[in-house]
Structure 1
Amino acid sequence: MVRRLRPVGIDFVETAPVRLVFAREIRAAPERVYRALAEDVPGWSDWFSAVTSARPTDLGREVRLRGGTWFEETVLAAKEAEVYAYRVDATNAPGLRALAEEWRLTPAGGGTRVQWTFAVDGTAALRLLLTVGRAGLGRAFRDAVTALDRRLAAG
């Protein structure tokens, strides 16, 4: 079943009812990390284990996750080596009203500080689930960014 979400702007990343923010420093330069995020969309499945496929669209991307969840996304911000953000316009995930994600890149110690903000509005049950599941999302982020760093170092 297709669920259309409320269209939100980049400011939603700061104002969402649920904001989960995670950060990690990696060795890769911000420009390389940005290209992996914004330009190599199909490559996401190589480093983010939850992603089974991703493909660019005219306005953003389509992403499929393990377990069958999918998202149609619109890019909200794409600034080379600094920020890549998008919102979800449609999904099959229950409970969501609005969802945006921001990847902020900052030079740090010869590499990059990667900060991921997961901003959500949804039902009370979903908000509770995300709050309880924060540690799992944090682990998924750390594993993904570590795998991305390895991938970028290798080639």
Structure 2
Amino acid sequence: MAHRLRPVGLDFVDTAPVRLVFERQISATPDAVFHALAEDVPGWPRWFSAVASARPTEGGREVRLRGGTRFEESVLVAKAPEVYTYRVDLTNLPGPRAWVEEWRLSPAGTGTLVRMTFAVDGTAPFRFLFTRTRPATGRAFRGAVTALDRRLAG
């Protein structure tokens, strides 16, 4: 069953009740990373192992994760090569009420510092469980960004 989430704006990235923030420096340029994030949406499964499929839609994306979780998202900001932010509008995952993910890209030497923020709100059990996913989510982020860096270098 699909759940429609509250349509929050950009300020939610800083004000969400639960925020998980991860950073990793990679050798790829901000332009190359931005292209992979925002413009090559169907390519996400090639470097983000949790993603089974991703496709662009009018104003957003549709993402399916391995295991069956689905998201319909609206892109809030796609400012090359600095920031890519999207909001989850619809999901089959129970519990979330609002969800925004932001990727910030900053030059770091000849590469990029990638900073990803998960900003969420939901039922009390969802918020509790989501905060407990921090270690696994961090590993998934680091693995995905490392795989992306290898892909962009090859």
Task: Report the TM-score, using the length of structure 2 for normalisation.
Answer: 0.99
Post-superposition shift, 1:109? 1.6
- Which SS does the other structure have where 1:98 is aligned? strand
- Which SS does the other structure have where 2:67 is aligned? coil
Residue 29 of structure 2 is matched in structure 1 by 29
Post-superposition shift, 1:117? 0.1
Structure 1 position 15 matched with structure 2 position 15 = yes
Structure 1 position 42 matched with structure 2 position 49 = no
Aligned residue pair count: 154
Post-superposition shift, 1:130? 1.3
Measured in 2, the distance between the counterparts of 1:109 and 1:136 equals 28
Letter in structure 1 aligned against 2:65: L
Return 5+ residue gaps in structure 2 as ranges: none
Letter in structure 1 aligned against 2:44: W
Map of 1:6-155 to 2, 5 A cutoff?
A: 6-154=6-154
Post-superposition shift, 1:84? 0.1
Letter in structure 2 aligned against 1:56: P
Moved over 3 A (4+): none
Measured in 2, the distance between the counterparts of 1:88 and 1:133 equals 18
Letter in structure 1 aligned against 2:98: A
Identity of aligned pairs, percent?
71
Q: Deviations over 1:22-79 (max 9, x none)?
A: 0000000000000000000000000000000000000100000011000000000110
